[in-house]
Amino acid sequence: MKRALVFGVSGQDGAYLSELLLGKGYEVHGTSRDADLQSFGRLAHLGIRDRVEIHSASMRDFRSLLQLIVAIEPDEIYNLAGQTSVALSFSQPFEAIESIANAQLLLLEVLRFLGKPIRLYNASSSESFGTIPPGTASDETMPFVPRSPYATAKSTAHWLTANYRDAYGLFACSGILFNHESPLRPERFVTQKVVGAAAAIASGKKMRLALGNITVARDWGYAPEFADAMWRMLQQEQPDDYVIATGEAHTLEEFVAAAFKAAGLDWRDHVDTDPTLFRTSDIRYSRGNPAKAKRVLGWEPKTRFEELVTLLVNAATPSTPSS
């Protein structure tokens, strides 16, 4: 039985990854800064809370990380922890660097110190690419041009991981993940605001949805499928970095239209554009090229855009009580 340690186990990706690993027969351990105060609602939602062993650990404390890894003796480590919000990183840039870049450096140092054949996955981000020309797609060779403290921290963690792989021989991979959604996505993300509003309005709630720039384009995929790509990276003979994406870009306007259509509504009757919500640093266009992941990992997305949006709206729609 393989043993996995998941940092950030309480988040969307941590929950789906844990579910996948358990299905493959792994013993799964997860962490929280204070396990006694965390509800782990996403693990409970998937029905796996009692099957994941939770530990309290700080990713800002070398000794804490060292003691935890020595005690668990994992075969694989997945670092999905750290600040997850681009918007929040502008108001808390120090937290972004501390929780993402510095935390990854400490983890790499622990693995270098131990010298054991532990395989490490690092959650990199498409935000590191910044805005690219419409019609193009980012692959593993494209340079990073981060436009936020979050993206800067992710870029730093990415290159630290590559450096430790090359300099110290660690089996360390980075998954450059593009936007990936699910019903477990936190409410602060715009996709959840959109599907939540569409479902609420369809159920009779009188409200309007205010959004910023709806011309921005993103590459949206389905989170459980992206968790499968993470696992595949650590099963290869050689460590490497991979773009994980659908290869399709859609505007936020298209997302909104699809969500309200799935709820039986015309979005133009319920949505307002608010210029105060525009951000000058917003990435205008983002699309990934997952060709390498398909060629090497045998991975490709299965859930396409319209299906994904409908899935999200259905999950957000209140169930009708049976008579």
Choose, from 10, 18, 32, 125, the residue flagged as catalytic: 125
Structure tokens at 141: 């060779």
Structure tokens at 138: 């980012």
Angle formed by the axes of helices 305-316 and 190-202, to 10°? 60
Q: Is 76 a known active-site residue?
A: no
Amino acid, res. 188: R
Phi, psi values for residue 133, rounded to 5°: -60, 135
Structure tokens at 110: 């622990």
- Rounded distance between C-alpha atoms, residue 2 and residue 74, angstroms: 8
Choose, from 150, 164, 242, 285, the residue flagged as catalytic: 150
Q: Is 95 a known active-site residue?
A: no
Q: How many CB atoms lie within 10 A of CB 205?
A: 9
Choose, from 76, 127, 181, 225, the residue flagged as catalytic: 127
Beta-strand ranges (E) seen in the chain are 3-7, 27-32, 52-56, 76-79, 119-125, 171-177, 180-181, 209-211, 217-218, 221-222, 242-244, 250-251, 271-273
Q: What is the DSSP letter of 303?
A: S
Q: Is 127 a known active-site residue?
A: yes
Q: Which residues are catalytic?
A: 125, 127, 150
